Amino acid sequence: FTAADQLANFVFVIDTELLEQMRSEFLGIEQLLDSGVRSLMATPLIHREEVVGFLATSTSEENAYGPEHVAAAEQISAQISGALANSRLHSRMSRIAQEREILIQIGRDAAAAQDPHSLYGSVFANLKKICRSTAR
């Protein structure tokens, strides 16, 4: 089994008592409790044997999540994991296409350059565009 196989259909349900026990052991639990969270449920989003994210929900109701909530979380995570992975892939492909267009423009500018200084300015301006697109 892969790690993703082992996580599939695995839903973390943390009730009020467990949150209280975790209060001093885990960074962030104190803030959750202080904000009123009394129950927490999270499930991994798995697409093609890869964890692509987590779906989490919380409530101020104590011990709020039962088996029916776990089943719903499993179904929802199975449905949205593919959409999330596809959205990330689309963003990546769009960024790659944009970078290639910029590199093509640098090539055109190099072919048309009359002197090195004008070429350097063009290359610098276009490389700044690539750096901005990869920083997102």
CATH classification of the domain holding 66? 3.30.450.40
* Structure-token pair, residue 122: 């063009």
Supply the pLDDT for residue 32: 84
| Same domain assignment for residues 22 and 70 | yes
82-96: pLDDT as tens digits: 898 888 899 999 999
Residue type, 34: D
Per the CB < 8 A criterion, the answer to whether 119 and 127 are in contact is no
Report the domain count for the chain: 2
pLDDT at position 47: 85
Model confidence at 133, pLDDT cuts 50, 70, 90, reads low
**In this predicted structure, what is the pLDDT of residue 29?**
83
Domain of residue 96 covers 91-130
Q: Which of 7-11, 22-26, 52-56 has the highest mean pLDDT?
A: 52-56
Assess whether 14 and 81 both reside in one domain: yes
